[in-house]
Amino acid sequence: MTMTHLEAPLRKAALHRLFWRVHFWAGLVGAPIVLFAALTGLVYVFTPQIEARCHADLDRVAVGAAVRPLDQQVAAAQAAHPDEALRFVVPAHRPGDSTQVYLRAAHEHHAHAGRGEHDHGLPTGSIVYVNPHTGQVLGRLQEMQRFKTWARKLHANALQGNGWRWLLELGASWLLVLFATGLTLWWPRSRARGGPGWRALLPAPGRGRRRWRDLHATVAIVLGLVLSIVLVTGLTWARHSGHNFRLAQDALGQSAPKPGKDLRSTVIEGQAPIGWQRAHELASAVAPDVSIQLTPPDGPDGTWRAENFDRSQPTNRFTQVIDAYSGRLLFNSGWDQLPLLSQATAVGIPFHRGEFGLWNQLLLVLAALAVVFSVVSGFVMWWLRRPPGQWAVPRLVADDVRLAPRWVWPVAALLGWALPVFGWSLMVLTALEACRLLAMRRTAAAGGEGVLSPAAPPASGLRPPRRQPRRRWNDRHRAAGSGPR
């Protein structure tokens, strides 16, 4: 039998070993990070229930007969905290809601930055809560004292600011690779070709590593769609991969419409600009039924900006720019104006945050528990397979790399570009593997090993899969993370 006859099975076996090695590296790099992300995500997903108990005294008020003008409510908040600058206001939307006035402390070293806030990933502003019926200030919280903000920042950057966002991005990127390679390694033959087909999803009876391997695969596959949505949506607003995603959106014409930076109000001499109450009335007249965030003008010719504060209702998204003197609508965009890709992200991000209700929260809980189980079961499988005193790293030799299908390399390069943090780490791991293979080659040359003969399978195990009695078991129970026996 010549090398030509063995080409297809050799390439298949080489790809299997390459993916198994990558799967191992993905688990080694990503497991601790994704474990942290899953556990903190479990905390964040129950935000509505926790906030309802922790902040009810500030968020809720007794319903009164009349509502004070919004100008009076904002003035009361500013009078209580005159040293802080006003950012935006969220007027009471439903009966029993309080009005939220967002303030920020002055940053002397950022005083030139205008209305922008430099929080470096951890909000430093505060929220003043006002009773809309009495105008009484109910209290004040630092933004980081809100459970939702604290839990979100814990999940996003471990409470360390933007400088640590790359770490969570690294874990999410490698988890995506972990899932893709695991799915490829597990994929069974169809029943028509003598394989188990969909029955491979049913864990076989037994104990030990075999049972762990089946459960490891089944749990990941069953919840794979939810996990994939969570990972992709998270990466679309990550720092580096999110930047590339926005570039792709712009190139495809799929970005959400944005008001031009040159939109300014027409100053009318002798006329005062409209106030909070009037701006709120104008915005509410054309806005969907959703909680509104109002941002005041940033100068004499500045404009009012209104947008949805509640992000859990994608179809009620809107952005408005209002002339501060005439009240004329200078810009208005809503759900119907969003391109398809922007609509998809508008739905995907609230899903990622569990904002669509209890069913959404339960799905995310299952996904997070699936990630925890995958990490634990992967470690258990490795431990059971590991010979005493050895690392039991999946084997990969130079011939595996040489015989791997050519499409692997452009796919890896494309992923490395789309997910920059993954790409940087992949280059480091590739360099380490190259050094290891080079060292193996030099050792083999020094030991006088012969050159691979195309007429015979190499001693490294690079040979076509053997037809053995346990073939059907292997096809049926090959789990994500398993390798050639």
pLDDT in tens, 232-286: 999 998 999 999 999 999 999 999 999 998 999 999 998 999 999 999 999 999 9
Task: Give the model's pLDDT for residue 118.
Answer: 52
Alpha-carbon span 474 to 484, nearest angstrom: 9
Tokens of 144: 């980081």
Residue position matching structure tokens 């015989």: 403
Q: Is residue 480's pLDDT more than 60?
A: no
Alpha-carbon span 246 to 255, nearest angstrom: 7
Q: Is 331 helix (H, G, I), strand (E, B) or coil?
A: strand
Average pLDDT estimate for 152-157: 93
Tokens of 65: 């007969």
Does residue 131 share a domain with residue 88?
yes
Element (H, E) at 48: helix 47-54
Average pLDDT estimate for 381-405: 87
Q: Higher-confidence residue: 115 or 346?
A: 346
Does residue 209 share a domain with residue 67?
no
Does residue 185 share a domain with residue 102?
no
Does residue 99 share a domain with residue 227?
no
Single residue among 145, 175, 192 that ends a domain in this structure: 145
DSSP 83: T
Phi, psi of 281 (to 5 degrees): -65, -45
Q: Is 225 helix (H, G, I), strand (E, B) or coil?
A: helix
Q: Is residue 100's pLDDT more than 80?
A: yes
Q: Higher-confidence residue: 352 or 111?
A: 352
Alpha-carbon span 354 to 85, nearest angstrom: 32
Task: Give the model's pLDDT for residue 4.
Answer: 55
Instruction: Convert the pLDDT of each residue in 120-139 to its tens digit.
Output: 789 999 999 999 999 999 99
Length of the chain counted residue by residue? 485
Does residue 361 share a domain with residue 232?
yes
What is the residue type of 385? R
CB hemisphere CA count around 363 (13 angstroms): 19
Of the chain, the percentage scoring pLDDT greater than 70 comes to: 87
Element (H, E) at 41: helix 3-45
CB hemisphere CA count around 272 (13 angstroms): 4
Alpha-carbon span 45 to 353, nearest angstrom: 6
Task: Give the model's pLDDT for residue 209.
Answer: 79
Let me know if residue 154 belongs to a domain.
Answer: no
Task: Give the model's pLDDT for residue 6.
Answer: 58
The residue segments making up the domain with residue 396 are 3-41+165-239+355-447+457-477
DSSP string for 132-197: TTT--EEEEEEGGGSHHHHHHHHHHHTTS-GGGHHHHHHHHHHHHHHHHHHHHHHPPPPGGGTS-G
CA distances, 333 to each of 92, 173, 285, 287, 348 (Å): 23, 33, 14, 10, 20
Average pLDDT estimate for 37-48: 95
Residue position matching structure tokens 């003035």: 75
Question: Burial level of 435, CB count in 10 A (0-12/13-18/19+)?
Answer: exposed
Does residue 280 share a domain with residue 364?
no
Average pLDDT along the chain? 86
Let me know if residue 139 belongs to a domain.
Answer: yes
Task: Give the model's pLDDT for residue 5.
Answer: 57
Does residue 230 share a domain with residue 83?
no
User: Residue 289: which CATH number?
Assistant: 3.10.450
Q: Higher-confidence residue: 76 or 469?
A: 76
DSSP 314: G
Does residue 361 share a domain with residue 234?
yes
Instruction: Convert the pLDDT of each residue in 331-376 to its tens digit.
Output: 999 999 999 999 999 999 999 999 999 999 999 999 999 999 999 9
Single residue among 304, 337, 370 that ends a domain in this structure: 337
Does residue 473 share a domain with residue 360?
yes
Question: Burial level of 54, CB count in 10 A (0-12/13-18/19+)?
Answer: middle
Alpha-carbon span 114 to 55, nearest angstrom: 31
DSSP string for 471-482: HHHHHHH--TT-
Does residue 123 share a domain with residue 61?
yes
Q: Is residue 172's pLDDT more than 90?
A: yes
Least reliable range by pLDDT among 83-87, 239-243, 336-340, 477-481: 477-481
Does residue 380 share a domain with residue 311?
no
Instruction: Convert the pLDDT of each residue in 174-229 to its tens digit.
Output: 999 999 999 998 888 777 776 677 777 777 777 777 888 888 988 988 898 999 99
Does residue 407 share a domain with residue 324?
no
Domain count of the chain? 3
Let me know if residue 132 belongs to a domain.
Answer: yes
Confidence of residue 110 (pLDDT cuts 50, 70, 90): very low
Q: Are 344 and 335 in contact (CB under 8 A)?
A: no
Let me know if residue 390 belongs to a domain.
Answer: yes
Q: Are 154 and 164 in contact (CB under 8 A)?
A: no
